[in-house]
Amino acid sequence: RQELLKWNGWGYNDSKFIFNKKGQAEFTGKRYRLGGMVLPTFKEWIEKTFGASLEHKTTSRASLNVNDVPPSIVKEEFLQDLRATKISYSQDAEDRVFRAHGHCLHEIFVLREGMFKRIPDIVVWPVCHEDVVKIVELACKHNLCIIPFGGGTSVSSALECPEEEKRTIVSLDTSQMNRILWIDERNLTACVEAGIVGQDLEKQLAESGFCTGHEPDSMEFSSLGGWVATRASGMKKNIYGNIEDLVIHIKMVTPRGIVEKNCQVPRMSTGPDIHHFIMGSEGTLGVVTEVTIKIRPVPEYQKYGSVVFPNFERGVACLREVAKQRCAPASIRLVDNAQFQFGHALKPQVASIFTSFLDGLKKFYITKFKGFDPNVLCVATLLFEGDREKVLQHEKQVYDIATKFGGLAAGEDNGQRGYMLTFVIAYLRDLGLDYYVIGESFETSVPWDRVLDLCRNVKERIVRECKEKGVQFAPLSTCRVTQTYDAGACVYFYFAFNYRGISDPIHVYEQIERAAREEILANGGSLSHHHGVGKLRKRWMKESISDVGLGMLRSVKEYVDPNNIFGNKNLL
C-alpha cells in the first residue's frame, strides 16, 4: 500500500490537483468523481483568495534523500529475538520515514524541505494478535519504545517520535492485521482486526450485506485501531453513532498484559467503563488488536440534498432546530459563505450548454428573485439513508424546517458534490504548498448558543493574527458546522494563507493556529471533538480536564505502562 500513496503529501500518488498546459486546474486520476475534470474557475479563485500566482512556485524534493535519514540503531540481541518470532520487519530508510509522521502541516513541510530529527529505528509488521503480544514482550525485555502505527492520518503530531527518546523506537505497523475474524448476524456485530482500513472494512462487510456506517473523512486511509485510539467520529454518526457508540469489545495488548472484557454485551455496569481508558489513549497504553463492532444492514436507499440559506445565522438556527426535533439526517453540514465560494470554484467544466443554462437560471432565481446576497448566503448539505419511503418522509420533514428559516432547496447534485469534496479537499493542501500557500483544518465542539459567536470570533482572530504576524495577503479563514448533537455542534475550520515574504512560515502558522485554539477555548469550545490531542494540543490538557482529571489519566498510564514502553508522549 505504501507504494500507492504519496511519500510527501496526502493520499494516492495518482490523484492530485495540477495546472495543465492551458493553465487550468485539473484533478488527476480516476479514483474520484472529480478525476480527469477541468476546473475552469479554480485558478482565479486561488489568485483572488490568496493573492497567489502561478509564476511563484516552490518545489518539493522529488524523492527522499536516504543520506539525510537518521541511522537505524537497533541492538543485535533484539534483532535475534525478533527473527526468532518470524515477524517481518524492516530497517529501510523509506519505510521508517513513512511511519515517522502524520499529516500535520509542519510534518509535510519537513518531508518536502527537511528531515525529521528522530524517526523509528525499525518497522515491524505483526499479522495477528499473538504477534503483537510477542513484540510487546520483547520491547519490555529489551526496554524499547513502541509507537503503534495504523493509517498514518493523524493530525495531532501523535506519530512524531519524541526527539529525546534514546531507546530504539519500534514502529508497530498494524496494516497486516486486516481481517474480519467473524460476523455475527444475529447480534449484528463483527469482530475485526484493528489494522483494517475504513474503506476495506466497509467493502468487505458489504459483501455480506452489512456496513458499520462509520465514515470519518479519512476513511480511505485510517484504520479501525486508530479510530479507537483517538475517539474518532464519523460523518454519519447521527444514524450509526461515533466510535464509542459502535464498539462492543476491545482487545488491547499492554506491557501489563491483555486488557478486555469478559463478554460482548450492549452495556454493563461494572464501574467506570474500561473502554473509555482505551478510547482516546492515543497509543500511550498499548496496541488495540481486535475490535468487535456493531454492524447494520446496508441501507436500501441513499439520497443527497442541499439547502441554501440567506446567511450563516439562519443556517445555524435551522440546524439547531433540526437537532432539537431529533430529525437530523445521516449527515447534515453547513458551510459558510467562503466555503460555498470555494466549492463553487471547484465546479468542473459543464458538459453541455443546457446545464450551463440551467446553472445560470438557478443562480438568477436565488440571487435576484429571492434576494440572496451571493457574498453572504451559505449552504447546508444533507445525506439521507434508510428505507426509501422513510427517507422521503424524513427529507420532507427536514426541508419543511429549512423553509421556516428561509432556506431554499438547492438540489441533490450540490449535496453530493459537497460530500465528494470532503475527500478531495485534503489533496488541495499539496497544491497550495507548491504555490506558497499553507493551510490546515482544525475542529472543536461547542454548545449551540455559542456556535455563532465562536465561528465569528475564531475567524476574526485568525485574520487579525495573520495581519499581526506580517502575512501580506488576507488569509482564507472559513468554517463549517459538520455535526449536530442535542446540546451542541461540531465546528470545523479551514485556514490557509499565502506565505510569500515570510521567512519562517511554519512557525508563523503554528503561532496562529495556537491563537485560534486559545480563541476557541475562550469561546467555550472544546480542545478537540475528534482529532485528538497528540502532542500538538497537550499544553491545554490541564485546563481542559482539570489537575485531578489529568492525575487520573496519569495514574492509569503509570499502572499499565510503568516503563513507558508506549513512549510516544501523546496526551499527558
Partner 1 sequence: ETASHSLFLCSQQKELTSKKRDEFEDILEERRLSSDLRYAMKCYTPVIYKGLSPCKPNALKSAVLQSEQVQYVIKQLAKEMGESPDIIQEEATEILDEMGHSMQLGAVRFFAFTLSKIFKQLFQRVCVNEEGMQRLQHAIQEHPVVLLPSHRSYVDFLMLSYLLYTYDLALPVIAAGIGKDFLGMKIVGELLRRAGAFFMRRSFGGNRLYWAVFAEYVKTMLRSGYAPIEFFLEGTRSRTAKTLTPKFGLLSIVMEPFFKREVFDTYLVPISISYERILEETLYAYELLGVPKPKESTSGLLKARRILSDNFGTIHIYVGQPVSLRALASGRINRCPFNLVPRHLPQKPSEDIQEFVSDVAYKMELLQIENMVLSPWVLAAAVLLQNLPAVDFELLIEKTLWLKGLTRTFGGFIEWPDNLCAKKVVVSGLSLHSNIARLVDGHVVLNDKGVEDGAVGEIVFRRALAILMCATYRNQLLNVFVRPSLVAVALQMTRSFRKEEVYSCFSFLRDVFSDEFIFFPGISLKDFEEGCFLLTKCDAIQTSQQEIYPTDKGSATVSFLSAMFRPFVEGYQLIFRYLSKETKEAFTEKQFIPGVRNFVFQLLEKGNTQCYEALSSDMQKNALAALVQLGAVKKKKLSNGFTYNVNQEDVSKILDMFDARIPVQKPVAARL
Judged by beta carbon, residue 250 or residue 451, the one nearer partner 1 is: 451
* 411 labeled binding residue: no
* 230 labeled binding residue: yes
- Which residues are CB-neighbours of 446 under 8 A, at least 6 positions away? 454, 488, 489, 491, 520, 523, 524, 525, 526
- Which residues are CB-neighbours of 558 under 8 A, at least 6 positions away? none
Interacting residues with partner 1 between 483 and 522 (CB under 8 A): 521-522
Among 292, 337, 341, 523, the residue binding partner 1 under the rule CB under 8 A is 523
Binding mask of the shown chain, residues 431 to 470, with x at each position contacting partner 1 by CB under 8 A = ------------------xx--xx-xx--xx---------
Question: What is the nearest approach in angstroms of partner 1 to the Cβ of residue 386?
Answer: 35
Cα four-point dihedral sign 237, 243, 245, 249: positive
Judged by beta carbon, residue 85 or residue 526, the one nearer partner 1 is: 526
Cell 447494520 belongs to residue: 296
* Active-site residue flag, 492: yes
Question: What is the nearest approach in angstroms of partner 1 to the Cβ of residue 454?
Answer: 7
Cell of 194: 484493528
Amino acid at 405: F
451-468 helix and 312-324 helix, angle to the nearest 10 degrees: 140
* 232 labeled binding residue: yes
* 150 labeled binding residue: yes
Binding mask of the shown chain, residues 542 to 571, with x at each position contacting partner 1 by CB under 8 A = -x----------------------------
Specify the pairing of strand 145-149 against strand 169-173: parallel
Judged by beta carbon, residue 222 or residue 445, the one nearer partner 1 is: 445
Distance CA 477, CA 489 (A): 19
Judged by beta carbon, residue 454 or residue 560, the one nearer partner 1 is: 454
Question: What is the nearest approach in angstroms of partner 1 to the Cβ of residue 542?
Answer: 12
Binding mask of the shown chain, residues 134 to 173, with x at each position contacting partner 1 by CB under 8 A = ----------------------------------------
Question: What is the nearest approach in angstroms of partner 1 to the Cβ of residue 528?
Answer: 15
* 93 labeled binding residue: no
Cell of 385: 439513508
C-alpha to C-alpha distances, 386 to 2, 188, 300, 411, 504, nearest whole angstrom: 36, 17, 6, 19, 50
Judged by beta carbon, residue 275 or residue 517, the one nearer partner 1 is: 517
Judged by beta carbon, residue 246 or residue 515, the one nearer partner 1 is: 515
Coil, helix or strand at residue 383: strand
Judged by beta carbon, residue 90 or residue 526, the one nearer partner 1 is: 526
Question: What is the nearest approach in angstroms of partner 1 to the Cβ of residue 523?
Answer: 4
What is the H or E stretch that residue 19 is in?
strand 17-19
CA-closest candidate to residue 320, choices 412, 450, 468: 450
Binding mask of the shown chain, residues 257 to 276, with x at each position contacting partner 1 by CB under 8 A = --------------------
* 110 labeled binding residue: no
Instruction: Spot the catalytic one: 492, 494, 499, 509.
Output: 492
* 241 labeled binding residue: no
Cell 508497530 belongs to residue: 172
Distance CA 528, CA 267 (A): 26
Distance CA 497, CA 230 (A): 28
The footprint of partner 1 on this chain (CB under 8 A) covers a number of residues equal to 13
At 245, phi and psi to the nearest 5? -85, -20
| Residue 314 contacts partner 1 per CB under 8 A | no
Residues in the chain: 572
| Residue 84 contacts partner 1 per CB under 8 A | no
* 61 labeled binding residue: no
| Residue 311 contacts partner 1 per CB under 8 A | no
Q: Long-range CB contacts (< 8 A, 24+ apart) of 369-376? A: 370/310, 370/408, 371/310, 372/308, 372/310, 372/408, 373/310, 373/311, 375/337, 376/310, 376/311, 376/312, 376/337
Q: What is the phi-psi region of residue 409: left when phi exceeds 0, alpha when psi lies from -120 to 50, beta otherwise?
A: beta
| Residue 337 contacts partner 1 per CB under 8 A | no
Amino acid at 254: T
Among 524, 552, 564, 572, the residue binding partner 1 under the rule CB under 8 A is 524
Question: What is the nearest approach in angstroms of partner 1 to the Cβ of residue 515?
Answer: 11
Distance CA 496, CA 439 (A): 4
| Residue 115 contacts partner 1 per CB under 8 A | no
From the annotation, which residues make up the binding site for FAD? Answer: 148-154, 230-233, 282-288
From the annotation, which residues make up the binding site for substrate? Answer: 429
Interface residues with partner 1 (CB under 8 A)? 449-450, 453-454, 456-457, 460-461, 521-524, 543
List active site positions.
Answer: 492
